[in-house]
Structure 1
Amino acid sequence: MYRTAIATVLMMSLTPPALAQNFTTADEVRPILDATKGSWVAVREYDGKDLLYFTHLLAWRCGLAQIHYSLNGEAEQQYDAEPCYEDEAQPNAIKVVDKLPYLEFGLNSIEMVTVRLVFDDGAEATTSYERAQIMTP
């Protein structure tokens, strides 16, 4: 048992990063995002504001060309995600260097969020959420 565990750890450490970290195309991320539509965005009340988080989408952004959102049926806006780091071992890493993974809005101003994703192959997916569906503690 001990030898098997050591062998497994050694094999995992020898796996090239490119093989261990795919998920950089629409074909690779679409099934994951389809299965996790309920987690695309989240709303959190914090410090007298509504924070709209895009963290889940950022984790799979390398297969996306664009992320759009609209609040309460208003005009759609584009969320500018940090780039995909395709020349690095972890291209989907969220570094939060220039941009936070959320946007700030007035407290209780978010009633409904619609998200439209444009994949890097041009296909699109859209989902809408009522506030209660995506609230986090």
Structure 2
Amino acid sequence: MIRKLLAILMISCATPVGAQNFTTAGEVRPILDMTRGSWVAIRDYGGKDLIYFTHLLAWRCGLREIRYGLNGAAPSIAFKMEPCHEGSAQPNALSGDDVYVTQPAGSVTEVQVKLIYDDGSSEEARFARDAILIQ
């Protein structure tokens, strides 16, 4: 994992400033591969389970869609993403606060996520509640 990160940093440093905005599958896939454990998080807050997609949304410009399923269900529910801000200095910046979905407190035991990249490829990951629970 460290080698992949170093390779990305070396490529980024060798690329002229502004030439790489991390807006394509080829640019975001290596980052999402290395940070798979951070794709989603669960927070028990205000009597609800909040399932956060913030990390994925920060790299959404290389994604066509984020799908999820809960408690063993296939990832068939599309998470609504705000559009990429192409043409701006920070195309991946989030302008809204729609970064989570809510469920009844303690009801989410597992989250399955499917990413569909802008090149049509996809990958999935499954996360147990205890592995992604934050305070």
Query: Counterpart of 1:113 in 2: which secondary structure?
Result: strand
Identify the residue that residue 54 of structure 1 maps to in structure 2.
53
Following TM superposition, where does structure 1 have runs of at least 4 consecutive aligned residues deviating by more than 3 angstroms? Answer: none
Identify the residue that residue 82 of structure 1 maps to in structure 2.
82
Identify the residue that residue 116 of structure 1 maps to in structure 2.
114
* Letter matched to residue 90 of structure 1: Q
CA distance in 2, matches of 1:87, 1:104: 32
CA distance in 2, matches of 1:35, 1:74: 25
Question: What is the Cα deviation at residue 123 of structure 1?
Answer: 0.6
Query: Counterpart of 1:108 in 2: which secondary structure?
Result: coil
- Per-residue CA deviations over 1:9-48 (Å, capped at 9, x if unaligned) read xxxxxx86x33x6100000000000000000000001000
Report the number of matched residues.
Answer: 119
Higher Cα Rg: structure 1 or 2?
A: 1
* Letter matched to residue 81 of structure 1: M
Query: Counterpart of 1:44 in 2: which secondary structure?
Result: strand
Gaps of 5+ in 2: 1-15
CA distance in 2, matches of 1:68, 1:101: 13
Question: What is the Cα deviation at residue 74 of structure 1?
Answer: 2.5
- What percent of counterpart residues are identical? 52
Kindly indicate whether the alpha-carbon contact (under 8 Å) linking 2:66 and 2:79 is maintained by their aligned counterparts in 1: yes
Query: Counterpart of 1:32 in 2: which secondary structure?
Result: helix
- Per-residue CA deviations over 1:70-114 (Å, capped at 9, x if unaligned) read 001235200011110012110000111xx5100111000100000
CA distance in 1, matches of 2:104, 2:82: 24
CA distance in 1, matches of 2:73, 2:61: 27
TM-score of the superposition, structure 1-length normalised? 0.83
Gaps of 5+ in 1: 1-14
Name the Cα RMSD after superposition: 1.4
Kindly indicate whether the alpha-carbon contact (under 8 Å) linking 2:73 and 2:112 is maintained by their aligned counterparts in 1: no
